[in-house]
């Protein structure tokens, strides 16, 4: 032909089976020759029984269009070749021996319906890997389970029927139909996902169980599989210890001559337990060991001797049936009032405590002893330390040190208070606070201290260049001029001349956290996070706009109530997949009030405070502006927010009250970090110390668990969290592992987990 422009397509209709097939497909084929078709006429329908033998679809049908406007229906592609068509068929089909049918049709549009029968006798397959899941709940003794599984179906993946049953205890007995519950048990169970990947979700009791999953495909093929899982107790018991016991050594006869040879006294771990802890895998066992010795579950008691006289720091460990353990630290005052140890050369002790000026115990202080003997130890949560087995009559020196947690207790509120001191508006009221304010260790308090401290807050600097993070002053020292602690060199070492035969127990130090003049540093793991009353919210006003990729936008920040604010700090967060920071335009807030170390990650740190002599009469005009280049389309209010990812978000009014920080976009509510969020620990990777930060929408009980890649719990801390930003300082020497670890923060309503890395 001179022109042929063919188009071929088909549509399918599915029907239930009438025989032993699975289902039927009626596939309607349409062929159009656009060189002939007028675009409106109905198609010529080619029948399924064109050979008229009463057996539709039993052989191929050829449609042969020929010049002259005729169309032949035949069993092959040659209408002139004999087909041996029986005479009876010729009469019925209007054909001759050479073809089945001759049609006077030249419309160029043909239609034929093909019948396809689908057969499937292959069962669907179910695959899953047995897993263990942790329970951190010592009340309900349940754990959150999320078990993934996969279904493989070769024919009808969109027509599957799934049933899930629970075999509690994996004893072969079905206990519940989890997708058809009527008794309220396991009502939080959910089957989620889509073919081929699904997940079984819910809370289940501690123990090993199995899901029995039944799958039926659209052809009636059925298969089932047992998916085994275990919920294990990962929550260690938390012993509560008596804070110290006094023990008298009793005379003991070693050789049976009725003459005392030494002093002894046994003491048991259970003697120190205030109240028994409850645990899902009890009963709880207790052990006791001297601080520094390896704990042993079988060491239920220890024997005290003359070598222990003085203050002996001990650890009381609690173990549950799942192998979880935790300890509390306390001390024993070992006395020899009966002279059971004799009058010979007696080993005595030198002990003391390290605490802030508010008597908050400071742990993780390295205390070094030098002189006739040398030793080193770390203070625990009580802040106490002791060196035993020292010979009386000799000279010794005790030196404490701690360094590394530079930002602990440091905020812009400290800058506000130090500024007031420098200008004489509100002098710092103790020599220890003045030492804390001397950030650069220049023996004076100047604006240079403010500059260095602000760089720490903004994460521009990570340490103090000429100072350690903690200083320690002999507690018995009296400053001759309290308003000038540098009038003479204050003692940071305790020198003991001619150690008395009774030892000493009051070698105490006052710990000073550099930069922290409002005394809110976290000093020990038992202290938790200081609760604060939030008096309201300080809000930046920002115009909400729609941004288009390729355009630049100047985002201005103003605040109507800035005159009532003494200072603020925060982390401004922007979506770095949609916005690129181009510039910061100064207003009242200057360039030095920003940190751009993490700008490539979409994080800008900011810290600002008014000078006390400004009168707090600043206008509500633009404080500063951020210039962004949009790399994707979006709404500014969805791309820009304020939080505590690096620098904690908080503000301070002229009454000294703490406020939340938020952004108020035009025409919208406050956009603030009033939600649960677990931040990445900083620094990461780390060796030494790292800070785990998280944000709470309300005051809540918090459990922080650090575990290795096998799920073994390495550290567990409980604290009372406060609304807003909270943190925990983790130390590598407390974690007996290196490499990848996981930390989980769990509240009554939220749980989140992140990964961190310890390097050697």
Q: Token digits for 629?
A: 């280049």
Q: What band does 453 get if pLDDT is binned at 50, 70 and 90? A: very high
Q: Is the distance from CB of 272 to CB of 294 less than 8 angstroms?
A: no
Q: What band does 96 get if pLDDT is binned at 50, 70 and 90? A: low
More confident residue, 87 or 161: 161
Residues 501 and 573 in one domain: no
More confident residue, 338 or 264: 264
Give the CATH number for residue 682. Answer: 2.60.40.1930
Q: What band does 613 get if pLDDT is binned at 50, 70 and 90? A: low
What are the DSSP E strand ranges found in 457-527?
470-474, 494-496, 509-513
The pLDDT value given to residue 1: 45
Among 314, 245, 317, CA closest to 287: 317
DSSP 4-66: --EEEEEEEEEEE-SSSSSEEEEEEEEEEETTT--SSSPPEEEPS-TT-SS-TTSS--EEEEE
Assess whether pLDDT exceeds 80 at residue 264: yes
Last residue of a domain, one of 93, 118, 143: 118
The pLDDT value given to residue 86: 57
Last residue of a domain, one of 205, 233, 261: 233
Assess whether pLDDT exceeds 50 at residue 671: no
Residues 652 and 686 in one domain: no
Q: Is the distance from CB of 325 to CB of 235 less than 8 angstroms?
A: no
pLDDT digits (tens, 9 = 90+) for 731-751: 888 887 778 889 999 998 888
* Cβ-count burial 650-676 (b if 16+ within 10 Å, e if not): bbbbeeeebbbbbbbbeeeeebbbbeb
Q: What band does 87 get if pLDDT is binned at 50, 70 and 90? A: low
Most confident of 32-46, 381-395, 399-413, 514-528: 399-413
3-state SS class at 495 = strand
Last residue of a domain, one of 674, 691, 716: 674
Output phi, psi for 436, to 5 deg. -65, -35
Residues 436 and 483 in one domain: yes
Bridge-based pairing state of the strands 325-335 and 245-248? parallel
User: Which residue carries 């300890």 as its tokens?
Assistant: 327
Residues 603 and 495 in one domain: no
The pLDDT value given to residue 138: 84
Residues 397 and 283 in one domain: yes
Residues 163 and 213 in one domain: yes
Residues 323 and 260 in one domain: yes
Assess whether pLDDT exceeds 80 at residue 517: yes
Strand partners, 635: 546
Q: Token digits for 724?
A: 């807003």
* Cβ-count burial 396-410 (b if 16+ within 10 Å, e if not): bebbbebebbbbbbb
CB within 8 A of 435, min separation 6: which ones? 471, 473, 485, 490, 512, 514
| Total number of residues shown for the chain | 760
CA 271 to CA 302: how far, in whole Å? Answer: 11
Give this prediction's pTM.
0.51
Q: Is the distance from CB of 689 to CB of 728 less than 8 angstroms?
A: no
Query: Is 389 inside any structural domain?
Result: yes
End-to-end CA distance of the chain: 82
Residues 150 and 263 in one domain: no
Q: What percent of the chain lies above the pLDDT cut of 90?
A: 50
Quick one: angle between helices 447-457 and 412-422, nearest 10?
180
Residues 724 and 633 in one domain: no
The pLDDT value given to residue 528: 53
Residue 69, Cβ neighbours under 10 Å: how many? 12
How many H-runs (helices) and E-runs (strands) does the chain carry?
Answer: 5, 51
User: Which residue carries 């500063």 as its tokens?
Assistant: 624
Most confident of 17-21, 61-65, 132-136: 132-136
The pLDDT value given to residue 344: 46
Assess whether pLDDT exceeds 60 at residue 92: no
Which contiguous run of DSSP H or E holds residue 353? strand 347-355
Q: Is the distance from CB of 376 to CB of 347 less than 8 angstroms?
A: no
Q: Domain of residue 729: give its range.
A: 678-758
Among 723, 757, 690, 744, CA closest to 408: 690
Residue 490, Cβ neighbours under 10 Å: how many? 18
Residues 273 and 387 in one domain: yes
More confident residue, 456 or 93: 456
Residues 224 and 263 in one domain: no
More confident residue, 671 or 526: 526
CA 512 to CA 479: how far, in whole Å? Answer: 15
- Sign of torsion over alpha carbons 402, 408, 411, 414: negative
The pLDDT value given to residue 619: 55
Q: Is the distance from CB of 635 to CB of 512 less than 8 angstroms?
A: no
Query: Is 174 inside any structural domain?
Result: yes
Query: Is 211 inside any structural domain?
Result: yes
Assess whether pLDDT exceeds 60 at residue 36: yes
Query: What is the SS3 assignment for 288-303?
Result: EEECCCCCCCCCCEEE
Angle (CA) 639-640-644 rounded to 5° is 125
The pLDDT value given to residue 64: 82
**CA 682 from centre of chain:** 13
Query: Is 175 inside any structural domain?
Result: yes
Query: Is 524 inside any structural domain?
Result: no
Among 669, 455, 408, 419, CA closest to 567: 419
More confident residue, 394 or 199: 199
CB within 8 A of 701, min separation 6: which ones? 718, 719, 720, 721, 747, 748
CA 530 to CA 524: how far, in whole Å? Answer: 12
Radius of gyration, CA atoms only, the chain? 40
Give the CATH number for residue 655. Answer: 2.60.40.680
Assess whether pLDDT exceeds 60 at residue 641: yes
Assess whether pLDDT exceeds 70 at residue 346: no
Question: Looking at residues 302-318, what average pLDDT do you find?
Answer: 90
The pLDDT value given to residue 63: 84
Pick left, alpha or beta for residue 51 (phi over 0 → left; psi -120 to 50 → alpha; otherwise beta). alpha
Residues 602 and 556 in one domain: yes
Strand partners, 734: none
3-state SS class at 592 = helix
Question: Looking at residues 49-53, what average pLDDT do you find?
Answer: 73
The pLDDT value given to residue 732: 84
Question: How many domains does the chain contain in total?
Answer: 6
CA 201 to CA 62: how far, in whole Å? Answer: 57
Chain-wide mean pLDDT for the chain?
87
Query: Is 568 inside any structural domain?
Result: yes
The pLDDT value given to residue 72: 80
Region of poorest pLDDT, from 52-61, 589-598, 713-722: 52-61
Q: Token digits for 513?
A: 């956290």
Assess whether pLDDT exceeds 60 at residue 94: no
Assess whether pLDDT exceeds 80 at residue 205: yes
Region of poorest pLDDT, from 51-60, 106-115, 160-169: 51-60
The pLDDT value given to residue 518: 94
The pLDDT value given to residue 472: 98
Q: What band does 2 get if pLDDT is binned at 50, 70 and 90? A: low
Region of poorest pLDDT, from 38-47, 122-131, 300-309, 681-690: 681-690
Assess whether pLDDT exceeds 90 at residue 104: no
The pLDDT value given to residue 627: 96
The pLDDT value given to residue 85: 59
Query: Is 525 inside any structural domain?
Result: no
Question: Looking at residues 128-137, what average pLDDT do you find?
Answer: 91
User: Which residue carries 């200057």 as its tokens?
Assistant: 590
Whether a cis peptide bond, with omega within 30° of 0, leads into 695 is: no
Query: What is the SS3 assignment for 313-324?
Result: EEEEEEECCCCC
CA 179 to CA 177: how far, in whole Å? Answer: 6
Assess whether pLDDT exceeds 80 at residue 640: yes
Query: Is 528 inside any structural domain?
Result: no
Q: What band does 308 get if pLDDT is binned at 50, 70 and 90? A: confident
Whether a cis peptide bond, with omega within 30° of 0, leads into 575 is: no
Angle (CA) 92-98-101 rounded to 5° is 40
* Cβ-count burial 372-382 (b if 16+ within 10 Å, e if not): eeeeebbbbbb
pLDDT digits (tens, 9 = 90+) for 543-593: 999 999 999 999 999 987 788 899 999 999 999 999 999 999 998 899 999
Q: What percent of the chain lies above the pLDDT cut of 70?
A: 93
Give the CATH number for residue 138. Answer: 2.60.40.10
Cα-based distances in Å from 68 to 1, 71, 96, 105: 11, 9, 19, 10
CA 384 to CA 402: how far, in whole Å? Answer: 15
Q: What band does 616 get if pLDDT is binned at 50, 70 and 90? A: very low
**CA 203 from centre of chain:** 20
Angle (CA) 726-728-732 rounded to 5° is 160
CA 733 to CA 688: how far, in whole Å? Answer: 7
The pLDDT value given to residue 614: 56
């Amino acid at each position: 032909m001179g022109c042929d422009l063919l188009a071929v397509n088909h549509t399918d209709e599915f029907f239930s089976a009438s025989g032993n097939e699975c289902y039927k497909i009626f596939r309607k084929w349409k062929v159009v020759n656009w060189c002939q078709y007028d675009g409106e006429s109905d198609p010529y329908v080619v029948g399924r029984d064109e050979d008229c033998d009463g057996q539709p679809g039993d052989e191929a049908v050829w449609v042969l269009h020929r010049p002259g406007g005729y169309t032949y229906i035949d069993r092959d592609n040659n209408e002139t070749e004999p087909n041996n068509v029986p005479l009876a068929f010729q009469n019925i089909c209007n054909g001759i021996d050479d073809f089945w049918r001759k049609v006077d049709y030249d419309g160029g549009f043909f239609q034929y319906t093909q019948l396809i029968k689908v057969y499937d006798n292959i069962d669907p397959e179910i695959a899953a890997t047995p897993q263990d899941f942790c329970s951190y709940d010592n009340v309900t003794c349940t754990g959150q389970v999320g078990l993934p599984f996969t279904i493989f179906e070769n024919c009808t993946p969109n027509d599957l029927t799934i049933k899930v049953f629970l075999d509690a205890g994996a004893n072969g007995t079905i206990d519940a139909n989890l997708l058809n519950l009527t008794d309220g048990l396991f009502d939080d169970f959910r089957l989620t996902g889509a073919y081929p990947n699904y997940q079984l979700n819910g809370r289940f009791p501690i123990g090993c169980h199995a899901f029995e999953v039944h799958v039926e495909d659209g052809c009636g093929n059925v298969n089932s599989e047992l998916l085994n899982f275990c919920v294990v107790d990962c929550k260690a018991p938390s012993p509560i210890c008596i804070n110290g016991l006094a023990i008298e050594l009793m005379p003991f006869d070693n050789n049976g001559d009725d003459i005392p040879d030494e002093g002894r006294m046994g003491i048991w771990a259970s003697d120190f337990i205030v109240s028994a802890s409850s645990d899902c895998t009890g009963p709880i066992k207790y052990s006791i060991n001297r601080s520094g010795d390896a704990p042993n579950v079988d060491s239920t008691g220890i024997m005290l001797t003359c070598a222990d006289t003085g203050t002996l720091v001990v650890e009381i460990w609690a173990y549950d049936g799942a192998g979880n353990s935790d300890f509390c630290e306390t001390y024993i005052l070992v006395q020899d009032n009966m002279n059971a140890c004799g009058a010979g050369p007696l080993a005595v002790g030198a002990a003391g405590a390290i605490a802030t000026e508010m008597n908050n115990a400071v742990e993780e202080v390295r205390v070094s002893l030098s002189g006739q003997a040398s030793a080193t130890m770390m203070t625990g949560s009580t802040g106490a330390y002791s060196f035993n087995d020292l010979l009386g009559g000799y000279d010794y020196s005790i030196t404490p040190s701690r360094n590394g947690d530079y930002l602990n207790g440091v905020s812009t509120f400290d800058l506000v208070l130090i500024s007031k001191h420098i200008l004489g508006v509100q002098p710092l009221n103790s020599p220890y606070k003045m030492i804390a304010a001397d950030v650069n260790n220049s023996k004076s308090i100047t604006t240079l201290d403010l500059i260095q401290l602000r760089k720490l807050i903004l994460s521009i600097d990570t340490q103090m260049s000429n100072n350690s993070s903690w200083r320690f002053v002999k507690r018995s020292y009296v400053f001759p001029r309290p308003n000038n602690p540098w009038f003479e060199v204050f003692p940071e070492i305790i020198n003991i001349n001619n150690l008395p035969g009774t030892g000493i127990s009051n070698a105490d130090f006052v710990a000073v956290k550099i930069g922290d003049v409002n005394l809110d540093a976290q000093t020990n793991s038992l202290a938790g996070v200081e609760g604060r009353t939030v008096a309201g919210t300080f809000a930046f006003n920002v115009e909400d706009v729609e941004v288009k990729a390729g355009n630049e936008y100047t985002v201005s920040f103003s605040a109507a109530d800035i005159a009532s604010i003494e200072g603020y700090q925060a982390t401004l967060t922007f979506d770095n997949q949609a916005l690129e920071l181009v510039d910061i335009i100064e207003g009242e807030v200057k360039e030095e009030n920003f940190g751009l170390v993490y700008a490539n990650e979409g994080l800008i740190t900011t810290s600002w405070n008014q000078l006390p002599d400004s009168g707090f009469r600043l206008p509500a005009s633009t404080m500063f502006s951020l210039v962004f280049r949009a790399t994707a389309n979006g709404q500014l209010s969805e791309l820009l927010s304020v939080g505590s990812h690096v620098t904690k978000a908080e503000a301070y009014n002229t009454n000294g009250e703490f406020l939340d920080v938020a952004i108020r976009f035009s025409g919208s509510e406050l956009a603030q970090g009033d939600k649960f969020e677990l931040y990445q620990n900083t620094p990461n990777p780390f060796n030494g110390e790292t800070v785990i930060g998280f944000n709470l929408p309300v005051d809540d009980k918090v459990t922080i668990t650090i575990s290795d890649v096998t799920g073994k719990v390495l550290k567990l801390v409980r604290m009372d969290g406060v609304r807003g930003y909270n943190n925990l300082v983790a130390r590598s020497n407390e974690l007996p592992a290196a490499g990848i670890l996981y930390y989980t923060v769990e509240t009554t309503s939220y749980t989140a987990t992140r990964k961190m890395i310890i390097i050697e």
